[in-house]
Amino acid sequence: MHELILGGARSGKSRLAEKLAAASGLAVSYIATSQALDGEMNGRIQQHRERRPAHWGLVEEPLELARVLTEQAAADKCLLVDCLTLWLTNLLMLEDPARLAAERDGLLECLAGLPGRIILVSNETGLGVVPLGELTRRYVDEAGWLHQALAERCQRVIFSVAGLPMVLKGEAL
């Protein structure tokens, strides 16, 4: 099963994804897309590390998500990707539209063929104030288009608000 979990900042989406992964009964690998570029992000990364079970695998990959998913996916594994909007930000910061398009297309193309359970976590940024500036508007647009394309391809889509999951598509929790 492939799942997409969306929500705002501190909405409970990562905790829900971790709970679903732990309950899957499969070997879990956590695919982290963040980069510790400053002290604040270092703290967030540390919180996530402390919350995860020690026996889970970890792959840190800020850019080449399709490659890592293809290499790591197996029928007896659960891959938890946290988070797609950080991955998108990393690609936007490269200022190479061709690279962003290639990595996004690679993710969308590989997803259907991946065995096992895949849980994708992403921030829903399209519900707030329209951002000022070209880069932030592009970020919101790219995230929205990515979420729509992934929601088409995933068997279950969940929206998390205040720690409460709402299933938008697929079987109930």
pLDDT at 37 over 70: no
Catalytic residue among 2, 48, 55, 147: 48
Lowest-confidence segment of 9-13, 75-79, 82-86 by average pLDDT = 9-13
Q: Round the average pLDDT of the chain to a whole number and report it.
A: 93
Q: Residue 9 corresponds to which amino acid?
A: A
Rounded CA separation 130/161 (Å)? 20
Q: For residue 131, what are its two tokens?
A: 């951002």
Q: What is the pLDDT of residues 117-131, one digit of tens each?
A: 999 999 998 787 777
Q: How far is CA 31 from CA 89, 132, 161, in A?
A: 16, 31, 23
Rounded CA separation 26/160 (Å)? 23
pLDDT at 111 over 70: yes
User: pTM for this structure?
Assistant: 0.93
Specify the pLDDT at position 132.
83
Specify the pLDDT at position 10.
86
Rounded CA separation 131/171 (Å)? 34
Q: What is the assigned CATH class of domain 2-169?
A: alpha beta
Query: Has 55 been annotated as catalytic?
Result: no
pLDDT category of residue 97 using cuts at 50, 70 and 90: confident
Query: 17 or 96: whose pLDDT is higher?
Result: 17
pLDDT at 101 over 70: yes
